Amino acid sequence: DTGVSQNPRHKITKRGQNVTFRCDPISEHNRLYWYRQTLGQGPEFLTYFQNEAQLEKSRLLSDRFSAERPKGSFSTLEIQRTEQGDSAMYLCASSLIRTSGYNEQFFGPGTRLTVL
Amino acid sequence: QKEVEQNSGPLSVPEGAIASLNCTYSDRGSQSFFWYRQYSGKSPELIMSIYSNGDKEDGRFTAQLNKASQYVSLLIRDSQPSDSATYLCAVNGKSNYQLIWGAGTKLIIKP
């Protein structure tokens, strides 16, 4: 088990371009989360999936952001018409639903986005 | 009032001493509590989880939870320079899927 992986690790784009990030969770995990983190802050929740269903999306999330998790495996996060304010570290995490309800989330290495 | 509060630091501790990190939370219904370590430019790494009042020990790390006072702490014994990082406290929110995060405490271990 290699843990959560994310690609690309770094992305530099020009304002107005679209970008797509990929996350591969730990294989047996059925929950997948996307977060955004800026310097000096904790991770900010964006959205989460249970299997292939997107169950929650942050109200702070612009409609320029969309996420998918086809077949409940890997997930993609797309940002359309990027803005300089989108520059951040985008983190993916996964977890396994437990009967106890406890929810330990494990993070991938992140994708650092820079919008010029 | 922020939902999860941590002193931003930096907290400077001599090598070999005990580092004590604190976190308070506002939702009395919270059930799960986590400490993550984050090195500069890297992603958060889970180091401790605690669900019941009292202490939980794992190697040099001890997490302490007091639900009545709504705080959770992390003790690091025999601090090493490699422990220098930002420590993030996370608490489960209204739904057990969502974690509410503190902004983190920067810890510096001085040789």
On chain B, the residues whose CB falls within 8 A of the CB of A109 are 42-43
From the list B4, B45, B92, the residue facing A103 with the nearest CB is B92
Q: Two tokens at A61? A: 């999330």
Contact B43 A106 (CB under 8 A): no
Band (B39; pLDDT cuts 50, 70, 90): very high
Nearest CA in chain A to B8: A40
Report chain B's C-alpha Rg in angstroms.
Answer: 13
Nearest CA in chain B to A5: B43
Q: Is the pLDDT of residue B94 over 70?
A: no
Q: Is the pLDDT of residue A84 over 60?
A: yes
Band (A103; pLDDT cuts 50, 70, 90): confident
Q: Two tokens at A45? A: 């929740």
Task: Give buried/exposed letters for A83-108 (b at 16+ CB in 10 A, else e).
Answer: eeebbbbbbbbbbeeeeeebbebbbb
Q: Is the pLDDT of residue B2 over 70?
A: no
Q: Is the pLDDT of residue A62 over 90?
A: no
Contact B101 A108 (CB under 8 A): no
From the list A42, A103, A110, the residue facing B96 with the nearest CB is A103
